[in-house]
Structure 1
Amino acid sequence: MKKLLFTSLLLVSSTEAFAKDITVTLEVPSMDCATCPITVEKALERVKGVKEVDVTFENKLAVVIFDDEVTSPDALTKATENAGFPSRIKS
């Protein structure tokens, strides 16, 4: 029983050590009205692995926190493009 518990704890600990949250900022220049960020936010939230999204109309940016083991910046830009708002990673 102790061996099983130790193995389980070790497995959980090692999995958490590799997965990390990444923050990326996307430029979404085609947002042209105050309701556009809602569409962009919903599209990003639907991507599996996304943990937090903050979209602002004023500076046309989307800040996304995601699990890098589950998704990627390419998947995020594809999601906004599919919603009608092409984006690119802010350099």
Structure 2
Amino acid sequence: MKKSLIATALFLLFSVPALAAQQTVTLSVPGMTCSACPITVKVAINRVEGVSAVDVRYEERDATVTFDDAKTSVEALTQATTNAGYPSTLKQSRATQE
């Protein structure tokens, strides 16, 4: 009985990180009004722990971000852009398993 309980506990402990996934979201950033704005937005998002890729497009006024959902969240990403002076909202989301 003890071995079964220990095995179950170990399984749960080591399977939790496997549930984390790379997420890719697109944020709408309508406040970008000049060609220098995307640089500020990109730097702000890259400072968020867990972010692995950022593509900011001035023409579309959006940012596509890939991040580890075990380390950060969409809320943290939108807060980072807001703190940099560019409030953003979730535009589109798609989860990718890696």
TM class, shorter-length: 0.7 to 0.9
* Runs of 4+ displaced beyond 4 Å: none
Match of 1:60 in 2: 61
Instruction: Quote the Cα distance in structure 2 between the aligned partners of 1:75 and 1:52.
Output: 15
Q: Which has the higher contact order (CA 8 A, sep 6+)?
A: 2
Q: Could you say what secondary structure the match of 1:69 adopts? A: coil
Match of 1:45 in 2: 46
Report 1:1-91 matches (<5 A): 14=15, 16-91=17-92
Deviation of 1:17 (Å)? 2.0
Q: Could you say what secondary structure the match of 1:55 adopts? A: strand
Percent identity over the alignment is 54
Instruction: Quote the Cα distance in structure 1 between the aligned partners of 2:72 and 2:56.
Output: 19
- TM-score, normalised with respect to structure 1: 0.82
Instruction: Quote the Cα distance in structure 2 between the aligned partners of 1:57 and 1:86.
Output: 14
- TM-score, normalised with respect to structure 2: 0.77
Root-mean-square deviation over aligned CA pairs: 1.8
Q: Could you say what secondary structure the match of 2:18 adopts? A: helix
How many residues are aligned here? 82
Instruction: Quote the Cα distance in structure 1 between the aligned partners of 2:85 and 2:62.
Output: 15
Instruction: Quote the Cα distance in structure 2 between the aligned partners of 1:15 and 1:65.
Output: 20
Gaps of 5+ in 1: 1-9
Q: Which has the higher strand share?
A: 2
